[in-house]
Structure 1
């Protein structure tokens, strides 16, 4: 694995530190009046979710971890485990459902997801950025309500509540951004 200097750490880098895998959440480069410059790094443990603040001087060497990314197709859910199929080898793997966190409702049958592996352990999964959903319930359209920034609450077919523009009604398909969990456009 490549070692990098402490001043080369960037947000979203995955580091091996104190025997665990950490993702750099926030990096501030500090140049104090006295002494040498250093990087103040806020890190989050990938497995446990605990946070840690560390200082790395430019002379410090840190192990940077490269994760292997694989496209995998979602098949079904069973006992809190998501079953995916590797699109290259057709091998099936089970991954805990909580790996997706609050984005879990946007996972649809047959959807291709990018799963990141460290050795043989799945660490994270990324859904496509935009997903098509159907509006199941919302308030009726109010005539004359055309303000550019007015939104109304809506319930989607997957049980997620989002704010949508007033011109979108029940039964319509919309595209939702899975990163921000907000309405993007009509489908």
Structure 2
């Protein structure tokens, strides 16, 4: 009886181990070479364009009456935060950015730097105030965040969608009809100010949507 050799029918992306460069996050770095089709683009897809990582914010497949179909996108640069609009021909090949996430805990602020720690290895990652930007108003010590890496370097971090914060200041004398859904500004322990219902008071724990900055409910 002849034996048929085992054949692998599913091609796999090529993976090459790289050494971490000095000053980069020390870990085993793997460069994945993988091409997407423009037809696969969706919100949240990470693309590498002109040697930089970009995140797809919006996309629209367009098929004009005359001419070739294309995909219109709005992209945000992970590193600079700049946004651009870019079009790709339908079914064209696009390189996927090798962006991945790891959960880190924000532990403390050291001067102008924000320190995040890996709770397994206790390795620290530091981000400057410019890197954190407006996210600082929702950032609280002990909060778990997703830190994003590209080519072994930290490029961004993501806050939890919902955060629990404490009201430290609000006007107790502000009156209104709570049944009609009145609101008042309240200052949180991170320094952020949000509009809350009239029945919320100092010391209350509330849930806030970090994407919109809106009050959700009492915790």
| TM-score greater than 0.5 by the shorter chain | yes
Contact preservation (8 Å) 2:206, 2:218: yes
TM-score (norm 2): 0.77
Distance 1:146 1:25 in 2: 37
Q: State which of 42, 46, 51 in structure 2 corresponds to 1:10.
A: 42
Q: State which of 147, 156, 166 in structure 2 corresponds to 1:115.
A: 147
* C-alpha RMSD of matched pairs (Å): 1.9
Distance 1:88 1:157 in 2: 28
Distance 1:52 1:130 in 2: 28
Corresponding residue SS for 1:105:
helix
Compute the displacement of 1:79 (Å).
Answer: 3.2
Instruction: Show the counterpart of 2:131.
Output: 99
Q: Structure 1 residues 176 and 59 mapped into 2: Cα distance closer, same or farther (>3 Å)?
A: closer
- Once the two structures are superposed, the pairs formed by residues 1-187 of structure 1 within 5 Å of their partners are 1-140=33-172, 145-187=177-219
1:24-67 deviation per Cα after TM superposition (whole angstroms, max 9, x unaligned)? 22111111011121101122222223333222112321001242
**The 10-residue stretch of structure 1 (93-102 or 67-76) with the greater mean CA deviation from structure 2:** 93-102
Compute the displacement of 1:142 (Å).
Answer: 5.9
Give the aligned length. Answer: 187
**Larger Rg belongs to:** 2
Compute the displacement of 1:77 (Å).
Answer: 1.4
Corresponding residue SS for 1:76:
strand
Corresponding residue SS for 1:100:
helix
Compute the displacement of 1:141 (Å).
Answer: 5.9
Compute the displacement of 1:72 (Å).
Answer: 0.9
Distance 2:72 2:59 in 1: 6
Q: Structure 1 residues 99 and 150 mapped into 2: Cα distance closer, same or farther (>3 Å)?
A: same
Q: Which residues of structure 1 form unaligned runs of 5+?
A: none
Contact preservation (8 Å) 2:79, 2:156: no
